[in-house]
Amino acid sequence: MSPKIGWPLLSNQIRRGLENHTFGMVRNGGKRPHQGWDFYSPPGYRTYAIADGRIEMVRETYAYGKHVIMEFMFDMDNDGIERKYYAVYCHLSRIDVEVGQRVVKGQQLGLTGNSGNAKSMKGLDQHLHFEIRKQPITGRGLTGRLSPFRVFGHCPKHEPVIEKGPFLRL
């Protein structure tokens, strides 16, 4: 993983270790898309900027609840050219940043929660829904979205990835 990239939580593991909580045509036997990764997280856990960037939007919608859209630059194709992408943090209970604010990798953006269509989730189903996008606002389906695997290089389905390092700004 690029040293310019960090993880969105201190402990990062796909909810229940199930494929249908990852990216792609993974729901309903491959007939329905899931647009990001669901990281298991009880409400109230800190969520962090995965890279240096700028807060593009702070929103609340029916599906995603309270969410933050953060613009960042990344060389996804490993061709020496950084391009603009957007990290989306959903179902938050609290947002600690404002539109236009510059953030650094590891800076706290808010707290996980059960907002939006995650409001009735309990126990091991509570999560941070996390997406990588090519533009800040996308439609339904997978258009305009990329698998977070392209950024992280690893999908933590069975073992959590623990974020370490002095860069975390608590």
Residue extents of the structural domains in the chain: 11-149
In CATH, which superfamily holds the domain spanning 11-149? Glucose Permease (Domain IIA) (2.70.70.10)
Cα 16 to the center of its chain, rounded Å? 17
What is the tens place of the pLDDT at every residue in 66-113?
999 999 999 999 999 999 999 999 999 999 999 999 999 999 999 999
Is-contact 11 159, C-beta < 8 A?
no
Q: How does 125-161 read in b/e, with b if 16+ C-beta sit within 10 Å? A: ebbbbbbbbeeeebeeebeebbbbeebbeebbbeebb
With CA atoms as reference, report the closest residue to 133 among 76, 61, 65.
76
- Give the CA-trace dihedral at 106, 21, 161, 89, to 10 degrees: 0
Residue 76 has φ and ψ, to the nearest 5°, of -70, -30
**What single-letter DSSP state applies at residue 14?**
B
State pTM to two decimals.
Answer: 0.95
State residue 169's pLDDT score: 54
Number of C-beta neighbours around residue 80 at 10 A: 6
| Bridge partners (DSSP) listed for residue 40 | 127
Better-predicted residue by pLDDT, 22 or 163:
22
SS3 32: strand
